[in-house]
Copies of this chain bind each other. A is one copy, B any other.
Amino acid sequence: MDLVIGIDIGGTKTKIGLVDVKGNCLADTFFRTREFPDIDSYLDKVVATVKELQSQVAAEINFLGCGIGAPNASSRDGTIVHASNLVWKGVVPILAKMAERMPLPMKITNDANAAALGEMLFGVAKGMEDFIVITLGTGFGAGIVANGKLIEGYDGFAGELGHVDMTIGDGRLTGLNVRGGLEAYVSATGLKRTMLYLQSKYMDESRFRSIAYNDLHGEEITQAAVEGDPIAIKAFDYTAKILGQAMANFTAFSQPEAFILMGGLVNSGKWIMEPLQKYFEKNLLEFYKGKVKILLSGLPGKTTAISGAAALIWADHTNDY
């Protein structure tokens, strides 16, 4: 049976799975990325994990290749470059190092680009020519498709929308030292920073006045919103306002048919989605209003990123089936 290895390298977790032609994960697992600060022992762990997964699949496997999604990946050079959310610094020649370990066709791209390919091949973007995938995890990622093709840019680094400055140089710093950068507001980390900011700005009573920044988790903020915590509710509204404004700006760039959202922040459901829809429409130019959809990922939640990474390879085989 033909399968593709899909690897999603995230700031927190590395997810690995074996993906079939429909985008289904036949076996998958994860480990903590930060536990391997040395890239070589990290890749040894990856290879060992693939072997483990292989043994879980009953059928005889023919691997067509390995697709990797990672922040700040250069598809042209096969490298990861200055990724602020990863432990390895500088330029990491990850594809060359993987090829030493596994003699397979291998591709890498920005994690959000991989997600965009996944949605196009297996998810809600089937048949769409123009759409933007936004991944809201530890950081903020974007995969942009126009004219039916991923926009990779001159050098393979397009779609770094988390570092777009929304404030003419006056605002929070992102991990790449961009002042006012979107990711500093709209991401799991951004939401936590907003919780601090709003507690500084307002005097509302809130359970979060007893919780330190390092002990704060996204799920708790959602739970608090459900229970009516004013700071939590304001934090989602504030996040949605900036994301809505940013998405309206992005619409002026490539006029997508839809934005497709995924990642931890989206799990907060209506707390983020309802104000987002409102602020997005409010900020859209007149001739875009009512025309741009906001969709949730059409890939199975837990393995979205894995299927996306595998789509890098599967895209070359769609005509074989």
Q: Is the CB of A287 within 8 A of B151?
A: no
Interface flags for A138-158 (1: CB within 8 Å of B; 0: not) read: 000000101101011111111
Q: Is the interface of A mostly helix, strand, loop or mixed?
A: loop
Q: Is the CB of A160 within 8 A of B285?
A: yes
Q: Is the CB of A155 within 8 A of B285?
A: no
Interface flags for A229-255 (1: CB within 8 Å of B; 0: not) read: 000000000000010010011101111
Residues of B within 8 A of A245 (CB): 165, 168-169
Q: Report if A87 contacts B (CB, 8 A).
A: no
Q: Report if A166 contacts B (CB, 8 A).
A: yes
Q: Report if A256 contacts B (CB, 8 A).
A: yes
* A144 CA / B161 CA spacing, docked (Å): 16
Q: A133 to nearest B CB, angstroms?
A: 14
Interface flags for A214-225 (1: CB within 8 Å of B; 0: not) read: 000000000000
Q: Is the CB of A158 within 8 A of B253?
A: yes
Q: Report if A31 contacts B (CB, 8 A).
A: no
Residues of B within 8 A of A252 (CB): 158-161, 163-164
Q: A82-B287, A153-B254, A158-B254 are in contact. List 11 more A-B contacts (CB 8 A).
A: A130-B154, A144-B254, A146-B158, A149-B149, A151-B254, A153-B255, A156-B255, A157-B255, A158-B255, A165-B245, A250-B253
13 of the cross-chain contacts (CB-CB < 8 Å) are A130-B154, A152-B255, A153-B254, A154-B256, A158-B252, A158-B253, A158-B254, A161-B253, A164-B249, A164-B252, A164-B253, A166-B166, A169-B245
